[in-house]
């Protein structure tokens, strides 16, 4: 009964006129971000943090945090909706989790069924969003109650698991992902040490005493990095856009999509809850599952609507599922949730088990707004499919200056220092160089957010045990998390080595 009461309180926050407006703006921007190839939810959310901080500056802290996170979360799950548009119409994924949608979505568009593919992806995304929200409502309170019992040793090991999970699954090379994780942890040590009060890696520069601002680094790496990539690689080619005729799917389309949507929603939600797994993995798993369940697997890749319905449901459900470890444990499961976590910390609100006790209006207001936002997306996406398809045609010469302007004005509005503008530029160049050489940026951002918390919990645990590292192995939960973190890194490595041996034996 308490949960229903909290949810009712959440709706009272979400139904405030300005929060409804924030949710609407968030989902519209999110859909546009998903539609525009290359920007993606991480860049979109990072770009809007300074904007929301400026807009909510006159509000009380909790109210400002609730409004900001409602808008930013709207961008996150809105981008999951929008990513399918370019995949279906242009054969170009809006973001990585929509890669699988190109396989059958574009084929459907070539057959004159683009409208049905877009409509089914919108309906599937809506159903998946509702499934994820029901899971979030049911699991949020029990999980946070369990997490309250965690000590510093358990928190240290859990955060280590979060880092290992993202590092283990980010990018093509685990070595590169681990390098980026270590770089993020190193950047997180810059500034005044909270325990001893000694300046670390500041080189007598007072501007560095407070450390590197997460917001500046995130906007630089994601948003400006993408701008430099587009300019320097002259990435401005656009394909022929498929024509949209009938928008509403037929009864047969609905019948063929019902089970894939249900399976994709459940599968995506449970994969999303796992730290580091994310929407991309969920959509791939869903596609493979649908192919296995299908009576005609040979039709996949040739315009089978189940190949659109399943993955699109899965990536949306995964984005909702990823909110559970973020809100209840304070562990971001992906790059985008790491950015959302950084946004909350900016308002001195720590995501984790105490969030539901100390700031229920933020936690439950966000959950309620996600329900409203999903409804808004369904209402917007069905009739506005043709409008969002036009966004694809936005010339890069108008889009890029807009992104640069928002980045610079946004960061300066929050930080008020020219140092942060130079840091923004430097991070933009670094972001471009990293993506050019296939170094994943998400582990760096996650490590930058989690690094100081990992260090604080480790030192607190060592203080309790008088410097004995055995505390991390004698506490049962802590040991389980450490074993899981090691397994997360070693299992893919062992599988890769085993696969290599099989190839060598076959060749031999």
| 456, two tokens | 């604080």
pLDDT score, position 428: 92
* Residues 393, 396, 401: CA angle, nearest 5 degrees: 135
Look at the alpha carbons of 407, 410, 411, 416 in this order and tell me if their dihedral is positive or negative. positive
Alpha-carbon distance 128 to 133, whole Å? 9
Any idea which residue has 């409008």 for tokens?
387
Q: Which strand (E) or helix (H) includes residue 259? A: helix 251-273
Top-confidence residue, 506 or 141: 141
- Using CA atoms of 49, 54, 55, 59 in order, give the dihedral in degrees to the nearest 10: 110
Within a domain: residue 200? yes
Q: Within a domain: residue 213?
A: yes
* Cβ pair 13, 361 in contact under 8 A: yes
Structure tokens at 458: 């480790």
End-to-end CA distance of the chain: 65
Q: How many angstroms separate the Cα of 79 from the Cα of each of 35, 40, 134, 370, 466? A: 7, 7, 21, 13, 48
As a three-state string, the secondary structure of 169-202 is HCCCCHHHHHHHHHHHHHHHCCEECCCCCCEECC
Q: What is the pTM of this model?
A: 0.73
d(CA 201, CA 192): 9
In a domain, 399, yes or no: yes
CA–CA separation, 393 and 414 (whole Å):
32
Examine the pLDDT at 377 and tell me if it is beyond 90.
Answer: no
Is the pLDDT at 323 greater than 80, yes or no? yes
Residues in CB range of 496: below 8 A, 6 or more apart: none
Q: What interhelical angle do 418-436 and 225-232 show, nearest 10?
A: 60
Does 504 fall in a domain? no
CA 320, distance to chain mean position in Å, is: 10
Task: Supply 429's token pair.
Answer: 């160049």
pLDDT, residue 506, reads 57
How many structural domains are present in the chain?
Answer: 1
Q: At what angle do helices 251-273 and 278-293 cross, to 10 degrees?
A: 130
- Classify burial at 496, counting beta carbons within 10 Å of its beta carbon; exposed 0-12, middle 13-18, buried 19 or more: exposed
Q: Which of 440, 21, 468, 489 is nearest to 221 (CA)?
A: 440
- What local confidence, expressed as pLDDT, does residue 479 receive? 93
**Per-residue confidence band for 154, with pLDDT thresholds at 50, 70 and 90:** confident
| Cα–Cα distances in angstroms (integers) from residue 176 to residues 40, 182, 216, 221, 469, in the given order | 21, 10, 23, 16, 28
Examine residue 111 and state whether it is found in any structural domain, yes or no.
yes
- Structure token pair of residue 194: 């909270």
> What is the reported pLDDT for 277?
58
Domain assignment of residue 502, yes or no: no
In angstroms, the Cα distances linking 403 to 120, 224, 289, 384, 400 are 31, 8, 38, 24, 5
29 and 44 in contact (C-beta within 8 Å)? Answer: yes
Range of the domain at 353: 2-497
Backbone angles phi, psi at 393, to 5 degrees: -80, 0
Please check the confidence at residue 487 and state whether its pLDDT lies above 80.
yes
**pLDDT per residue over 273-320, tens digit each?**
776 556 767 887 788 788 778 787 777 777 788 888 888 888 888 888
What percentage of the chain carries pLDDT values higher than 90? 10
Lowest mean pLDDT among 86-95, 121-130, 223-232: 86-95
- Two structure tokens written together for 306: 């189940």
What element of type H or E holds 29?
Answer: helix 17-35
Q: Which pLDDT value is given to residue 292?
A: 78
**pLDDT tens digits, 75-115:** 888 887 777 777 777 666 656 667 678 778 878 877 777 77
DSSP per-residue string spanning 155-173: HHHHHHHHHHHHHHHSSS-
Look at residue 506 and tell me if it is in a domain.
no
> Helix 61-90 to helix 40-55 angle, to the nearest 10 degrees?
150
Q: What angle do CA 313, 317, 320 make, to 5 degrees?
A: 150
Q: Give the CA-trace dihedral at 458, 464, 469, 472, to 10 degrees.
A: -70
Strands 191-192 and 199-200, bridge-based pairing: antiparallel
- The closest alpha carbon to 317, from 142, 127, 137, belongs to 127
CB 350 within 8 Å of CB 302 = no
Task: Compute the distance between CA of residue 443 and CA of residue 184 in angstroms, rounded to an integer.
Answer: 7
Q: What is the pLDDT of residue 451?
A: 85
Q: Is residue 503 part of a domain?
A: no
Residue 240 has pLDDT above 70, yes or no: no
pLDDT digits (tens, 9 = 90+) for 22-53: 999 998 888 888 777 556 677 788 888 888 88
Q: Supply the pLDDT for residue 186.
A: 93
């Amino acid at each position: 009964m308490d949960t229903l009461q909290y949810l009712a309180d959440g709706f009272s926050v979400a139904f405030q006129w300005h929060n409804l407006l924030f949710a609407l703006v968030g989902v519209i921007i999110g859909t546009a971000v998903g539609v525009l190839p290359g920007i993606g939810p991480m860049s979109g959310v990072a770009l809007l943090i300074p904007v929301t901080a400026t807009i909510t500056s006159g509000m009380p802290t909790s109210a400002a945090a609730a409004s900001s996170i409602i808008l930013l979360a709207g961008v996150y799950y809105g981008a999951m909706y929008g990513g399918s548009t370019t995949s279906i119409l242009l054969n170009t994924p809006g973001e990585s989790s929509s890669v699988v949608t190109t396989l059958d979505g574009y084929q459907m568009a070539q057959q004159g069924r683009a409208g049905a593919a877009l409509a089914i992806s919108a309906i599937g995304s809506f159903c998946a969003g509702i499934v994820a929200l029901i899971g979030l409502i049911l699991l949020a309170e029990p999980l946070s109650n369990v997490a309250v019992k965690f000590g510093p040793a358990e928190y240290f090991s859990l955060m280590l698991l979060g880092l290992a999970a993202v590092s283990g699954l980010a990018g093509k090379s685990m070595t590169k992902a681990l390098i980026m994780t270590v770089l993020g942890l190193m950047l997180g040590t810059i500034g005044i040490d909270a325990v001893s009060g000694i300046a670390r890696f500041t080189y007598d520069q007072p501007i560095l005493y407070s450390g590197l601002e997460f917001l500046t680094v995130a906007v630089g790496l994601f948003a400006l990095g993408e701008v430099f990539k587009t300019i320097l690689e002259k990435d401005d080619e656009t394909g022929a856009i498929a024509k949209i005729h009938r928008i509403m799917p037929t009864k047969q389309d609905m019948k063929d999509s019902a089970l894939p949507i249900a399976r994709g929603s459940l599968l995506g939600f449970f994969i999303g809850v796992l730290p580091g797994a994310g929407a991309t993995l969920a959509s791939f798993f869903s596609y493979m599952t649908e192919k296995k369940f299908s009576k005609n697997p040979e039709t996949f890749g040739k315009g089978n609507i189940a190949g659109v319905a399943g993955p699109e449901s899965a990536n949306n459900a995964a984005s909702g599922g990823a909110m559970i470890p973020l809100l209840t444990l304070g562990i971001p499961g992906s790059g985008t949730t790491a950015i959302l976590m950084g946004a909350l910390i900016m308002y001195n609100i720590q995501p984790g088990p105490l969030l539901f006790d100390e700031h229920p209006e933020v936690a439950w207001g966000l959950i309620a707004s996600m329900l409203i936002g999903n409804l808004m997306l369904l209402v917007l996406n069905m009739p506005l499919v043709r409008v969002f398809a036009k966004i694809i045609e936005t010339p890069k010469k108008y889009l890029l200056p807009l992104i640069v302007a928002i980045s610079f004005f946004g960061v300066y509005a929050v930080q008020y220092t020219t140092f942060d503008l130079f840091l923004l530029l430097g991070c933009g160049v670094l972001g471009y160089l990293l993506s050019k050489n296939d170094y994943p940026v998400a582990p760096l951002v996650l490590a930058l957010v989690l690094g100081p918390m990992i260090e604080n919990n480790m030192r607190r645990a060592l203080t309790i045990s008088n410097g004995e590292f055995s505390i991390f192995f004698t506490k049962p939960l802590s040991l389980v998390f450490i074993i899981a973190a090691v397994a997360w890194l070693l299992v893919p490595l062992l599988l890769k080595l085993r696969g290599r041996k099989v190839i060598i034996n076959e060749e031999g």
